[in-house]
Structure 1
Amino acid sequence: MFTPPPSPGLPPNNVKDGILVPDVAVSGSADHPMSPKTLKRRIGRRTRWTVMLVPMALMLITASTRYLTHPAAFDMFSESASLTWEGLSERASNWTPHKRHPLAEAALAGVASTAGSPSSSVASLTGSGAASSAAPASTSEIPISAQTVPTIPSSPPALPTPFPQPFDSSLSQNFSSLSCFNFFSNMTNTVAFRSCRPFSLLLQASEGFLDAQENLQLLNNIVWGTCNTSIDDEGCSANIAWFSSNLVSACAIDLKDGNAMAVNTQIALNAFNLMRDAGCLVDPTTNTYCYLDAVRNSNPSDTYFYSLPLGVSMPNNTIASCSACTKSLMTLYYGAMNDATQGPGLTSLKASYPSAAKIAVADCGTGYATLTTATPSGALPLRTVPGLLLSTLVVIAVTLIAIP
């Protein structure tokens, strides 16, 4: 006999319309089910905050492990940490603070010592492993205004090794011709050139010489080295004249294109003899190099005069210090321009000297420097141009006001 199955009875409370509902208390404040669109927005917001906050947290942890006192556990993933499970577990449980790492200080100190060495770039250029005998850091840290100009050494001083050289920071690749680049590369590595230590090119293109401007004792030794070379004056004059002549042919295209490196180097080579004499000028009252007096002087005008043979004109607002050294320098320049041997190669000095002489005479008197007639007729001194411009503007303004 067939027995019917039991009656299913009433459905459980947590089943509605065939869907199982979680067995939780329902209150009026309960959240309504989110639509898929709302859920995507919430996930998107959380993702954005995660993307923003996680990198910031990592940067803070990195900064703290390098520069701040921090828990040792922060170092569990550092480069020096052991990556074994035992090592990671031990570091993660260690929350005792310790000081910042000295690595940053050591690295910065190494970079500073390399960059501050006047001869480091020269060594890399020549492949020399010789150490530099630069002055102690305590001396270089003294402001130039507080340093005393040392007297000229009575015996050979300790020169920096290797000695600062032109283009010691880098040799530019910006050449119009390969022959010109090869010329510069060969010249800067030739003993005949390096041994002569051209003051004109050191002043123009030597990072080591520029760095030495902050240390008068080191600069004094370098200037002494330019005045006392292993090759005598006559030999160096012949060597530099050869390089100047060959630059004209090897860098003909670059000179035609106005390549600044080729043009300025030719000017400096032509002024080698004159600027060697200028760098070795002595102040007899103090037995010091005049160039060091100029560097030490708070009035920069004295150093401006040393750049005249390189074609660098005096700034408009220069006020001459009227020192005895600058007077001797201007006398030296005037004599060289009128010398049959040196004069033809000093075209840049002939262009920059007249305005500098007018400034010197205006500030220091007619006997301080000799004026020349090289300036075109009707030309005005550089320092009168601003006044003339102002007067012209005033006249124009008055004229416009007067017009009805």
Structure 2
Amino acid sequence: MIVDTTLVIPRSSMTTIPAALAVETLMRDDRMPVKLNGEWTFLSQGEMVELRKRDDIDTAVTTAAETTTTTHGKTTTANAKTTVTTKAETTKGDGTTTTATTKTTKTTSSSPLPSFFDSSLASNFSTDSACPAFINAFLTNPTFKKCYPFSLLLQGSRSFFDAEKSLVSITQVLDATCAANATFCTTYLNSLAANLTEASNCGADYKLGNSIVVQAYDGMIGYQPLYAASCLTDPDTGAYCYANAITNLTTTANVYFYYLPLNSSLPTSGSEPSCNWCLKQTMAVFRSAAADRKKPIANTYLSAAQQVDTICGPAFVNDTLPAAITSGAAILLRQGLSLHWLAPTILLSAAVHFVL
């Protein structure tokens, strides 16, 4: 607002001022400059008071956690989306009001997948060992990354341990591991295990019991049963059985069973497992794998099944080992193939073998 101000200039005894200039009128701008939306706007004092009183900026923040839990073979998305809408009203000198609206949407992508042996690759190796180079080579191999074996994450991965603290993050991991071609990856990892124990690679360190090498070997040959078990989903909730087990802070004992194919027995004492569908089906997967007597699961299944039946009731799981399979059938099992359709062929081959 521009106001008229009358300024009276007194006559000076030493200066003669014409009568026409004895009184003058000056124009003074009392408005205050305010910068809104990057532009300077001049407002009167009254307008400034009204601007301060008015809630001129409305901010709406909406946060939605988008979590998609899918079954085997599909990718889980877990993104945090934040939308901020800002409205700014500007009052011009002519009394008109303009509104500027700004909408910003920020999407936070899922955290990176856990890495293998990210906390223990500095383990001591034998002198002049080629093992560290061999391990680094397969860890960076695109084929290995495509398989992304759950069995090798269970031991020696700090980032996997961190991922287990959240249902969303562990579901992401399981989605990635279950998206692999199990048949191809079983064959690939069995071959990789054989190469691992070669004298020119990690053979000497394996014989010395180097923890990294042993864990890598057990994870490779234990891939197939752990793939099948970790990809089981609860029919009632649709969530992965392993995800439910690892995030259940009340009953933690069900997690121990996933280490059976890695040549680890159940602890003799501790909390009792939940006698649910997931446990029953997981043990069924492991029993089937125990038909290959060369697998570590053949050494750990029987005592684990007996413990389960003691807690969950007789015959909750089968506490006997299946019949040992022939070498040819063992190869098929290592490749992740079902043996149900081969049963007549196996029996016939066995009969011919005994006859001969």
Q: What range describes the TM-score normalised by the shorter chain of this pair?
A: 0.5 to 0.7
Is 1:354 aligned to 2:302, yes or no?
A: yes
Residue from 366, 369, 372 that aligns with 2:317: 369
- Cα–Cα, structure 1 residues 314 and 219, in superposed 2: closer, same or farther, change >3 Å? same
Matches within 5 A, 1:21-32: none
2:75 equivalent in structure 1: 156
Matched AA of 2:236:
T
Q: CA deviation at 1:168?
A: 2.4
Is 1:236 aligned to 2:185, yes or no?
A: yes
1:45 equivalent in structure 2: none
- Cα–Cα, structure 1 residues 153 and 284, in superposed 2: closer, same or farther, change >3 Å? closer
Q: CA deviation at 1:211?
A: 0.2
Matched AA of 1:224:
D
Q: Work out whether residues 203 and 209 of structure 1, in 8 Å CA contact, stay in contact via their aligned partners in 2.
A: yes
Is 1:328 aligned to 2:278, yes or no?
A: no
Residue from 261, 264, 269 that aligns with 1:312: 264
Alpha-carbon displacement from aligned partner over 1:62-93 (angstroms, at most 9, x marks no partner): xxxxxxxxxxxxxxxxxxxxxxxxxxxxxxxx
For the residues of structure 2 that align with 1:218 and 1:173, how far apart are their CA atoms? 28
Matches within 5 A, 1:182-331: 182-229=133-180, 232-249=181-198, 250-297=201-248, 298-318=250-270, 319-331=272-284
Matches within 5 A, 1:75-86: none
Alpha-carbon displacement from aligned partner over 1:344-383 (angstroms, at most 9, x marks no partner): 441x222222221111001111221111369xxxxxxxxx
What's the TM-score once normalised by structure 1's chain length? 0.51
Alpha-carbon displacement from aligned partner over 1:280-299 (angstroms, at most 9, x marks no partner): 01111211110111112221
- Cα–Cα, structure 1 residues 280 and 373, in superposed 2: closer, same or farther, change >3 Å? closer
Matches within 5 A, 1:33-52: none
Is 1:176 aligned to 2:95, yes or no?
A: no
Alpha-carbon displacement from aligned partner over 1:92-140 (angstroms, at most 9, x marks no partner): xxxxxxxxxxxxxxxxxxxxxxxxxxxxxxxxxxxxxxxxxxxxxx99x
For the residues of structure 1 that align with 2:69 and 2:140, how far apart are their CA atoms? 32
Q: Work out whether residues 283 and 289 of structure 1, in 8 Å CA contact, stay in contact via their aligned partners in 2.
A: yes
Q: CA deviation at 1:150?
A: 7.1
- Cα–Cα, structure 1 residues 313 and 176, in superposed 2: closer, same or farther, change >3 Å? same
Matched AA of 1:359:
Q
For the residues of structure 2 that align with 1:354 and 1:188, how far apart are their CA atoms? 33
For the residues of structure 1 that align with 2:261 and 2:120, how far apart are their CA atoms? 24
Matched AA of 2:196:
L
Q: Work out whether residues 173 and 181 of structure 1, in 8 Å CA contact, stay in contact via their aligned partners in 2.
A: no
Q: Work out whether residues 271 and 345 of structure 1, in 8 Å CA contact, stay in contact via their aligned partners in 2.
A: no
- Cα–Cα, structure 1 residues 301 and 170, in superposed 2: closer, same or farther, change >3 Å? closer
Alpha-carbon displacement from aligned partner over 1:166-192 (angstroms, at most 9, x marks no partner): 112352241125111211121111111
Q: Report the structure, 1 or 2, having the larger strand content.
A: 2
Q: CA deviation at 1:161?
A: 6.1
For the residues of structure 1 that align with 2:265 and 2:115, how far apart are their CA atoms? 25
- Cα–Cα, structure 1 residues 150 and 157, in superposed 2: closer, same or farther, change >3 Å? closer
For the residues of structure 1 that align with 2:228 and 2:71, how far apart are their CA atoms? 17
Q: Work out whether residues 280 and 290 of structure 1, in 8 Å CA contact, stay in contact via their aligned partners in 2.
A: yes
Structure 1: stretches of 5+ with no match in the other structure: 1-137, 140-148, 375-404
Q: Work out whether residues 150 and 288 of structure 1, in 8 Å CA contact, stay in contact via their aligned partners in 2.
A: no
Alpha-carbon displacement from aligned partner over 1:187-244 (angstroms, at most 9, x marks no partner): 1111111221100011112211110111111111111111013xx2333223212211
For the residues of structure 1 that align with 2:174 and 2:228, how far apart are their CA atoms? 11
2:86 equivalent in structure 1: none
Matched AA of 1:304:
Y
Q: CA deviation at 1:156?
A: 2.7
Matched AA of 1:164:
P
**CA RMSD across the alignment:** 2.4
Q: Work out whether residues 175 and 254 of structure 1, in 8 Å CA contact, stay in contact via their aligned partners in 2.
A: yes
Q: CA deviation at 1:333?
A: 0.6
Q: Work out whether residues 311 and 349 of structure 1, in 8 Å CA contact, stay in contact via their aligned partners in 2.
A: yes
1:386 equivalent in structure 2: none
SS at match of 2:298: helix
Q: Work out whether residues 179 and 251 of structure 1, in 8 Å CA contact, stay in contact via their aligned partners in 2.
A: yes
Q: CA deviation at 1:335?
A: 0.9
For the residues of structure 2 that align with 1:257 and 1:153, how far apart are their CA atoms? 41
For the residues of structure 2 that align with 1:310 and 1:223, how far apart are their CA atoms? 18
For the residues of structure 1 that align with 2:282 and 2:298, how far apart are their CA atoms? 14
**Paired residues, number:** 221
Matches within 5 A, 1:105-116: none
- Cα–Cα, structure 1 residues 355 and 233, in superposed 2: closer, same or farther, change >3 Å? closer
Structure 1 residue ranges (4+ consecutive) displaced by more than 2 angstroms after TM superposition:
149-163, 232-235
Structure 2: stretches of 5+ with no match in the other structure: 1-63, 79-109, 323-356
